[in-house]
Amino acid sequence: MSRFRRKSFSALLTVAAAAGLVAGAAAAPAATAATEASVGKVVGYFTEWGVYDRNYHVKNIETSGSASKLTHINYAFGNVTNGGCAIGDAYADYQKTYDAAGSVDGVADTWDQPLAGSFNQLKKLKAKHPGLKVIWSFGGWTWSGGFGQAAQNPAAFADSCYNLVNDPRWAGVFDGIDIDWEYPNACGLSCDTSGAAAYKNLMAALRAKFGSQLVTSAITADGTDGGKIDAADYAGAAQYVDWYNVMTYDYFGAWAAQGPTAPHSPLSSYDGIPTAGFYSDAAIQKLKGKGVPADKLLLGIGFYGRGWTGVTKDAPGGTATGPAPGKYEQGIEDYKVLKTSCPATGTVAGTAYAKCGGDWWSYDTPSTIAGKVDYARQQGLGGAMFWELSGDTTDGELITAVAK
Protein backbone atom coordinates (compact mmCIF):
# COMPACT_ATOMS: atom_id res chain seq x y z
CA MET A 1 0.00 0.00 0.00
CA SER A 2 1.30 3.45 -0.76
CA ARG A 3 1.08 4.80 2.77
CA PHE A 4 2.31 1.62 4.41
CA ARG A 5 4.25 -0.07 1.67
CA ARG A 6 3.73 -3.49 3.16
CA LYS A 7 0.99 -2.75 5.64
CA SER A 8 -0.98 -5.89 6.19
CA PHE A 9 -4.32 -4.11 6.12
CA SER A 10 -4.04 -2.15 2.89
CA ALA A 11 -6.59 0.37 1.75
CA LEU A 12 -5.97 -0.96 -1.74
CA LEU A 13 -8.30 -3.78 -0.83
CA THR A 14 -10.85 -4.97 -3.26
CA VAL A 15 -14.32 -5.44 -1.87
CA ALA A 16 -13.72 -9.17 -1.88
CA ALA A 17 -10.48 -8.82 0.02
CA ALA A 18 -12.11 -6.47 2.49
CA ALA A 19 -14.46 -9.27 3.34
CA GLY A 20 -11.39 -11.01 4.77
CA LEU A 21 -11.00 -8.24 7.27
CA VAL A 22 -8.49 -6.80 6.34
CA ALA A 23 -2.34 -6.40 9.60
CA GLY A 24 12.69 4.73 32.54
CA ALA A 25 15.18 1.84 32.30
CA ALA A 26 15.18 1.03 36.01
CA ALA A 27 11.41 0.87 36.29
CA ALA A 28 10.81 -0.96 33.02
CA PRO A 29 10.79 -4.59 34.17
CA ALA A 30 8.17 -3.87 36.82
CA ALA A 31 6.06 -1.84 34.43
CA THR A 32 6.08 -4.56 31.79
CA ALA A 33 5.23 -7.25 34.33
CA ALA A 34 2.43 -5.14 35.79
CA THR A 35 0.99 -4.53 32.34
CA GLU A 36 0.76 -8.21 31.50
CA ALA A 37 -0.65 -9.08 34.92
CA SER A 38 -3.39 -6.45 34.75
CA VAL A 39 -4.55 -6.44 31.13
CA GLY A 40 -2.72 -9.33 29.53
CA LYS A 41 -0.39 -8.88 26.59
CA VAL A 42 -0.04 -5.49 24.92
CA VAL A 43 1.39 -6.12 21.45
CA GLY A 44 2.16 -3.25 19.09
CA TYR A 45 3.38 -3.38 15.50
CA PHE A 46 6.39 -1.33 14.45
CA THR A 47 6.73 -0.89 10.68
CA GLU A 48 10.18 -1.01 9.12
CA TRP A 49 9.18 1.59 6.49
CA GLY A 50 8.08 4.06 9.15
CA VAL A 51 11.64 5.38 9.39
CA TYR A 52 11.22 7.04 5.99
CA ASP A 53 8.32 9.43 5.26
CA ARG A 54 6.65 8.87 8.60
CA ASN A 55 9.88 9.68 10.47
CA TYR A 56 8.97 7.22 13.22
CA HIS A 57 11.92 5.42 14.73
CA VAL A 58 12.54 3.00 17.57
CA LYS A 59 13.50 5.94 19.78
CA ASN A 60 9.93 7.24 19.44
CA ILE A 61 8.72 4.11 21.21
CA GLU A 62 10.78 5.25 24.17
CA THR A 63 10.10 8.99 24.11
CA SER A 64 6.33 8.46 23.79
CA GLY A 65 6.30 6.34 26.93
CA SER A 66 5.08 3.37 24.92
CA ALA A 67 8.02 1.07 25.65
CA SER A 68 7.12 0.69 29.32
CA LYS A 69 3.51 -0.15 28.42
CA LEU A 70 4.26 -2.77 25.77
CA THR A 71 4.83 -6.42 26.53
CA HIS A 72 5.76 -7.24 22.91
CA ILE A 73 6.73 -5.41 19.72
CA ASN A 74 5.99 -7.03 16.35
CA TYR A 75 8.52 -5.86 13.76
CA ALA A 76 6.77 -5.71 10.37
CA PHE A 77 7.50 -7.11 7.88
CA GLY A 78 9.91 -9.72 6.68
CA ASN A 79 9.27 -11.08 3.19
CA VAL A 80 8.08 -14.57 2.27
CA THR A 81 9.60 -15.66 -1.01
CA ASN A 82 11.09 -18.75 -2.68
CA GLY A 83 9.57 -20.92 0.01
CA GLY A 84 11.33 -19.18 2.87
CA CYS A 85 11.70 -16.07 5.01
CA ALA A 86 13.71 -13.14 3.69
CA ILE A 87 14.82 -9.64 4.69
CA GLY A 88 12.22 -6.96 3.98
CA ASP A 89 14.38 -3.82 3.83
CA ALA A 90 18.06 -4.33 4.60
CA TYR A 91 18.81 -0.61 4.94
CA ALA A 92 16.04 0.12 7.44
CA ASP A 93 16.50 -3.21 9.23
CA TYR A 94 20.23 -3.28 9.96
CA GLN A 95 22.21 -0.75 7.91
CA LYS A 96 20.83 2.73 8.62
CA THR A 97 23.02 4.60 11.10
CA TYR A 98 21.71 6.89 13.84
CA ASP A 99 23.33 9.91 15.39
CA ALA A 100 23.27 10.44 19.14
CA ALA A 101 20.03 12.43 19.03
CA GLY A 102 18.25 9.70 17.12
CA SER A 103 19.53 6.77 19.12
CA VAL A 104 17.58 5.10 21.93
CA ASP A 105 20.48 5.39 24.38
CA GLY A 106 21.93 8.68 23.12
CA VAL A 107 25.03 7.00 21.70
CA ALA A 108 25.75 7.56 18.01
CA ASP A 109 26.38 4.68 15.64
CA THR A 110 29.82 4.33 14.13
CA TRP A 111 30.53 3.48 10.51
CA ASP A 112 32.22 0.19 11.37
CA GLN A 113 29.90 -1.27 14.00
CA PRO A 114 28.62 -4.77 13.17
CA LEU A 115 24.89 -3.96 13.52
CA ALA A 116 22.96 -0.76 12.88
CA GLY A 117 19.45 0.14 11.72
CA SER A 118 16.23 -0.55 13.60
CA PHE A 119 17.52 -3.94 14.72
CA ASN A 120 20.31 -2.33 16.72
CA GLN A 121 17.92 0.28 18.12
CA LEU A 122 15.54 -2.47 19.21
CA LYS A 123 18.43 -4.19 20.94
CA LYS A 124 19.13 -0.95 22.81
CA LEU A 125 15.45 -0.58 23.67
CA LYS A 126 15.39 -4.09 25.13
CA ALA A 127 18.44 -3.25 27.22
CA LYS A 128 16.47 -0.38 28.78
CA HIS A 129 13.38 -2.59 29.21
CA PRO A 130 14.54 -6.13 29.98
CA GLY A 131 10.98 -7.47 30.14
CA LEU A 132 10.15 -6.35 26.61
CA LYS A 133 10.04 -8.97 23.84
CA VAL A 134 10.44 -8.39 20.11
CA ILE A 135 8.91 -10.65 17.47
CA TRP A 136 9.69 -10.57 13.76
CA SER A 137 6.52 -10.60 11.68
CA PHE A 138 6.53 -12.06 8.17
CA GLY A 139 4.09 -11.63 5.32
CA GLY A 140 1.44 -8.97 5.57
CA TRP A 141 -0.92 -7.86 2.85
CA THR A 142 1.70 -7.37 0.14
CA TRP A 143 3.94 -10.35 0.88
CA SER A 144 1.41 -13.07 1.77
CA GLY A 145 1.52 -14.45 -1.77
CA GLY A 146 4.70 -16.32 -0.84
CA PHE A 147 3.00 -18.51 1.75
CA GLY A 148 1.49 -20.80 -0.90
CA GLN A 149 4.93 -21.97 -1.94
CA ALA A 150 6.10 -22.10 1.66
CA ALA A 151 3.20 -24.40 2.53
CA GLN A 152 4.45 -26.97 0.02
CA ASN A 153 7.43 -27.70 2.28
CA PRO A 154 6.68 -26.47 5.79
CA ALA A 155 9.86 -27.91 7.30
CA ALA A 156 12.09 -26.12 4.81
CA PHE A 157 10.16 -22.88 5.42
CA ALA A 158 10.57 -23.25 9.18
CA ASP A 159 14.31 -23.88 8.80
CA SER A 160 14.69 -20.78 6.65
CA CYS A 161 12.77 -18.59 9.07
CA TYR A 162 14.58 -19.90 12.12
CA ASN A 163 17.97 -19.25 10.54
CA LEU A 164 16.99 -15.69 9.62
CA VAL A 165 15.32 -14.75 12.90
CA ASN A 166 18.27 -16.16 14.85
CA ASP A 167 21.01 -14.92 12.53
CA PRO A 168 24.16 -14.23 14.63
CA ARG A 169 24.39 -10.72 13.15
CA TRP A 170 21.39 -9.65 15.24
CA ALA A 171 21.57 -12.14 18.06
CA GLY A 172 19.47 -11.08 21.01
CA VAL A 173 17.09 -8.86 19.06
CA PHE A 174 14.23 -11.28 18.37
CA ASP A 175 12.33 -13.56 20.71
CA GLY A 176 10.33 -15.38 18.07
CA ILE A 177 8.31 -15.18 14.87
CA ASP A 178 4.88 -13.86 13.90
CA ILE A 179 3.13 -15.15 10.77
CA ASP A 180 0.78 -12.75 8.98
CA TRP A 181 -0.69 -14.89 6.20
CA GLU A 182 -3.53 -13.07 4.44
CA TYR A 183 -5.17 -15.51 3.89
CA PRO A 184 -4.65 -19.29 4.05
CA ASN A 185 -6.94 -21.14 1.64
CA ALA A 186 -8.72 -17.87 0.81
CA CYS A 187 -8.25 -14.60 -1.04
CA GLY A 188 -6.39 -11.45 -0.07
CA LEU A 189 -4.21 -9.52 -2.51
CA SER A 190 -4.02 -12.88 -4.28
CA CYS A 191 -5.91 -16.11 -3.76
CA ASP A 192 -4.42 -19.10 -1.96
CA THR A 193 -5.46 -22.66 -2.78
CA SER A 194 -3.18 -24.54 -0.39
CA GLY A 195 -6.09 -26.30 1.30
CA ALA A 196 -7.65 -26.15 4.75
CA ALA A 197 -4.80 -28.07 6.43
CA ALA A 198 -1.93 -25.98 5.04
CA TYR A 199 -1.97 -23.34 7.77
CA LYS A 200 -1.97 -25.89 10.59
CA ASN A 201 0.89 -27.79 8.95
CA LEU A 202 2.92 -24.59 8.57
CA MET A 203 2.45 -23.56 12.18
CA ALA A 204 3.28 -27.09 13.38
CA ALA A 205 6.58 -26.96 11.50
CA LEU A 206 7.41 -23.54 12.94
CA ARG A 207 6.73 -24.72 16.48
CA ALA A 208 8.87 -27.80 15.98
CA LYS A 209 11.77 -25.68 14.77
CA PHE A 210 11.45 -22.67 17.08
CA GLY A 211 10.98 -24.76 20.22
CA SER A 212 10.48 -22.50 23.23
CA GLN A 213 10.74 -19.29 21.23
CA LEU A 214 7.53 -17.39 20.58
CA VAL A 215 5.39 -18.42 17.61
CA THR A 216 2.38 -16.14 17.01
CA SER A 217 0.14 -15.28 14.08
CA ALA A 218 -2.08 -12.46 12.88
CA ILE A 219 -5.34 -13.95 11.61
CA THR A 220 -8.56 -12.95 9.90
CA ALA A 221 -11.50 -11.62 11.89
CA ASP A 222 -14.16 -12.64 9.36
CA GLY A 223 -17.10 -13.73 11.49
CA THR A 224 -19.39 -14.63 8.59
CA ASP A 225 -20.70 -18.13 7.97
CA GLY A 226 -18.41 -19.89 5.54
CA GLY A 227 -15.95 -16.99 5.64
CA LYS A 228 -12.21 -16.85 6.08
CA ILE A 229 -12.16 -18.25 9.61
CA ASP A 230 -13.88 -21.34 8.22
CA ALA A 231 -11.40 -21.65 5.34
CA ALA A 232 -8.42 -22.80 7.43
CA ASP A 233 -7.88 -24.91 10.54
CA TYR A 234 -7.21 -22.15 13.04
CA ALA A 235 -8.47 -24.35 15.88
CA GLY A 236 -6.09 -27.15 14.97
CA ALA A 237 -3.18 -24.76 14.63
CA ALA A 238 -3.87 -23.11 18.00
CA GLN A 239 -1.89 -25.80 19.84
CA TYR A 240 1.26 -24.62 18.06
CA VAL A 241 0.95 -20.86 18.66
CA ASP A 242 1.48 -18.81 21.76
CA TRP A 243 -1.36 -16.56 20.67
CA TYR A 244 -3.33 -15.19 17.73
CA ASN A 245 -3.44 -11.49 16.86
CA VAL A 246 -7.04 -11.23 15.64
CA MET A 247 -7.31 -8.42 13.07
CA THR A 248 -10.60 -7.01 14.32
CA TYR A 249 -10.50 -3.88 12.16
CA ASP A 250 -10.78 -2.91 8.49
CA TYR A 251 -14.24 -4.43 8.27
CA PHE A 252 -15.49 -1.47 6.23
CA GLY A 253 -13.77 1.30 4.31
CA ALA A 254 -13.72 3.49 1.24
CA TRP A 255 -12.83 0.66 -1.10
CA ALA A 256 -16.64 0.78 -1.21
CA ALA A 257 -16.36 4.31 -2.61
CA GLN A 258 -20.07 5.19 -2.48
CA GLY A 259 -20.52 3.79 1.01
CA PRO A 260 -22.50 3.12 3.03
CA THR A 261 -20.36 4.72 5.70
CA ALA A 262 -19.64 2.28 8.49
CA PRO A 263 -17.17 1.99 11.37
CA HIS A 264 -14.12 -0.01 10.33
CA SER A 265 -13.69 -1.61 13.75
CA PRO A 266 -17.10 -2.28 15.34
CA LEU A 267 -16.98 -4.29 18.54
CA SER A 268 -20.57 -5.45 18.22
CA SER A 269 -23.27 -5.54 15.59
CA TYR A 270 -25.69 -2.64 15.12
CA ASP A 271 -28.82 -1.83 13.16
CA GLY A 272 -27.83 -1.21 9.57
CA ILE A 273 -24.43 -2.93 9.63
CA PRO A 274 -23.59 -3.53 5.94
CA THR A 275 -22.43 -7.14 6.39
CA ALA A 276 -23.62 -9.51 9.10
CA GLY A 277 -20.70 -11.03 10.94
CA PHE A 278 -18.34 -8.16 10.19
CA TYR A 279 -17.67 -7.14 13.78
CA SER A 280 -15.17 -8.07 16.47
CA ASP A 281 -17.35 -10.09 18.82
CA ALA A 282 -18.59 -12.27 15.95
CA ALA A 283 -15.00 -13.26 15.16
CA ILE A 284 -14.02 -13.84 18.78
CA GLN A 285 -17.09 -15.99 19.45
CA LYS A 286 -16.55 -17.95 16.25
CA LEU A 287 -12.94 -18.71 17.14
CA LYS A 288 -13.84 -19.65 20.71
CA GLY A 289 -16.66 -21.83 19.39
CA LYS A 290 -14.18 -23.74 17.25
CA GLY A 291 -12.13 -24.51 20.33
CA VAL A 292 -9.44 -21.81 20.25
CA PRO A 293 -8.64 -21.02 23.91
CA ALA A 294 -9.75 -17.50 24.83
CA ASP A 295 -6.39 -16.68 26.39
CA LYS A 296 -4.72 -17.34 23.02
CA LEU A 297 -6.80 -14.59 21.38
CA LEU A 298 -5.67 -10.95 21.37
CA LEU A 299 -8.21 -8.32 20.35
CA GLY A 300 -7.00 -6.14 17.49
CA ILE A 301 -7.24 -2.35 17.73
CA GLY A 302 -6.47 0.17 14.98
CA PHE A 303 -4.52 3.33 15.77
CA TYR A 304 -5.93 4.95 12.61
CA GLY A 305 -9.26 5.79 11.02
CA ARG A 306 -10.93 5.06 7.70
CA GLY A 307 -13.06 7.64 5.98
CA TRP A 308 -15.19 8.81 3.07
CA THR A 309 -15.87 12.20 1.50
CA GLY A 310 -19.03 13.59 -0.07
CA VAL A 311 -21.06 12.51 2.95
CA THR A 312 -24.09 14.43 4.21
CA LYS A 313 -25.40 12.07 6.90
CA ASP A 314 -23.90 12.34 10.39
CA ALA A 315 -24.70 8.80 11.55
CA PRO A 316 -23.36 5.64 9.88
CA GLY A 317 -25.12 4.47 6.74
CA GLY A 318 -24.69 7.54 4.57
CA THR A 319 -23.72 7.62 0.92
CA ALA A 320 -20.36 8.98 -0.24
CA THR A 321 -18.51 10.00 -3.37
CA GLY A 322 -15.14 8.43 -2.56
CA PRO A 323 -12.38 8.12 0.01
CA ALA A 324 -11.59 11.05 2.29
CA PRO A 325 -8.17 12.65 1.79
CA GLY A 326 -5.34 11.26 3.91
CA LYS A 327 -1.72 12.30 4.31
CA TYR A 328 -0.22 9.08 3.00
CA GLU A 329 -3.16 7.48 1.26
CA GLN A 330 -6.77 8.31 0.52
CA GLY A 331 -9.34 6.93 2.91
CA ILE A 332 -7.01 6.36 5.86
CA GLU A 333 -5.44 8.64 8.48
CA ASP A 334 -3.62 8.37 11.81
CA TYR A 335 -5.47 8.87 15.07
CA LYS A 336 -2.97 11.56 16.06
CA VAL A 337 -4.18 13.62 13.09
CA LEU A 338 -7.89 12.84 13.28
CA LYS A 339 -8.27 13.65 16.98
CA THR A 340 -7.90 17.34 16.11
CA SER A 341 -8.69 17.53 12.39
CA CYS A 342 -12.01 15.67 12.73
CA PRO A 343 -12.92 15.05 16.40
CA ALA A 344 -15.36 12.27 17.21
CA THR A 345 -19.02 13.30 17.03
CA GLY A 346 -20.63 10.01 18.03
CA THR A 347 -20.19 6.36 18.90
CA VAL A 348 -21.65 3.19 17.47
CA ALA A 349 -21.02 -0.49 18.24
CA GLY A 350 -18.26 0.28 20.71
CA THR A 351 -16.22 2.55 18.45
CA ALA A 352 -16.29 6.21 17.41
CA TYR A 353 -17.14 8.14 14.27
CA ALA A 354 -16.72 11.74 13.19
CA LYS A 355 -18.41 14.02 10.67
CA CYS A 356 -16.56 17.20 9.66
CA GLY A 357 -17.68 19.05 6.56
CA GLY A 358 -18.26 16.44 3.87
CA ASP A 359 -15.83 13.96 5.41
CA TRP A 360 -16.85 11.02 7.60
CA TRP A 361 -14.36 9.00 9.61
CA SER A 362 -14.43 6.11 12.04
CA TYR A 363 -11.69 5.39 14.56
CA ASP A 364 -11.04 4.37 18.13
CA THR A 365 -10.46 6.89 20.91
CA PRO A 366 -9.10 6.38 24.43
CA SER A 367 -12.70 6.03 25.61
CA THR A 368 -13.72 3.38 23.08
CA ILE A 369 -10.44 1.53 23.59
CA ALA A 370 -11.23 1.37 27.31
CA GLY A 371 -14.49 -0.33 26.39
CA LYS A 372 -12.71 -2.80 24.14
CA VAL A 373 -10.17 -3.61 26.84
CA ASP A 374 -13.03 -4.25 29.25
CA TYR A 375 -14.57 -6.57 26.67
CA ALA A 376 -11.27 -8.44 26.32
CA ARG A 377 -11.13 -8.92 30.08
CA GLN A 378 -14.72 -10.11 30.29
CA GLN A 379 -14.11 -12.62 27.52
CA GLY A 380 -10.94 -13.92 29.17
CA LEU A 381 -8.81 -12.92 26.18
CA GLY A 382 -5.04 -12.88 26.33
CA GLY A 383 -4.79 -9.13 25.82
CA ALA A 384 -4.78 -6.68 22.94
CA MET A 385 -2.78 -6.05 19.78
CA PHE A 386 -2.68 -2.84 17.78
CA TRP A 387 -1.67 -1.60 14.34
CA GLU A 388 0.55 0.40 14.61
CA LEU A 389 2.75 2.49 16.89
CA SER A 390 3.24 5.56 14.67
CA GLY A 391 -0.50 6.31 14.56
CA ASP A 392 -0.55 7.25 18.24
CA THR A 393 0.13 10.69 19.70
CA THR A 394 3.65 11.67 20.73
CA ASP A 395 2.70 11.01 24.35
CA GLY A 396 1.13 7.61 23.69
CA GLU A 397 -2.50 8.52 24.29
CA LEU A 398 -3.94 5.33 22.78
CA ILE A 399 -1.45 2.83 24.15
CA THR A 400 -2.04 4.31 27.59
CA ALA A 401 -5.72 3.45 27.18
CA VAL A 402 -4.84 -0.08 26.07
CA ALA A 403 -2.49 -0.71 28.98
CA LYS A 404 -4.39 1.14 31.70
The catalytic residue positions are 182
Neighbours of 190 (CB within 10 A): 13
Name every residue whose Cβ is closer than 8 Å to that of residue 24 and which is 6 or more positions away in sequence.
68
Residues 254, 260, 264, 265: what is their CA dihedral angle, to the nearest 10 degrees?
Answer: -170
Q: What is the DSSP letter of 91?
A: I
CA–CA separation, 143 vs 78, rounded Å? 8
Q: Strand pairing of 359-363 and 304-309?
A: antiparallel
DSSP 285-333: HHHHHTT--GGGEEEEEESEEEEEES---SSTT---SEEPP-SSBTTEE
CA–CA separation, 21 vs 333, rounded Å? 18
Asked if omega into 260 is within 30° of 0 (cis), the reply is yes
CA–CA separation, 393 vs 346, rounded Å? 21
Radius of gyration of the chain (CA): 20
Q: What is the DSSP letter of 57?
A: -
Output the CA–CA distances (angstroms, integers) from residue 36 to 69, 80, 275, in the order listed: 9, 31, 34
CA–CA separation, 358 vs 255, rounded Å? 17
- Rounded to 5 degrees, what angle do the CA atoms 90, 103, 62 make? 105
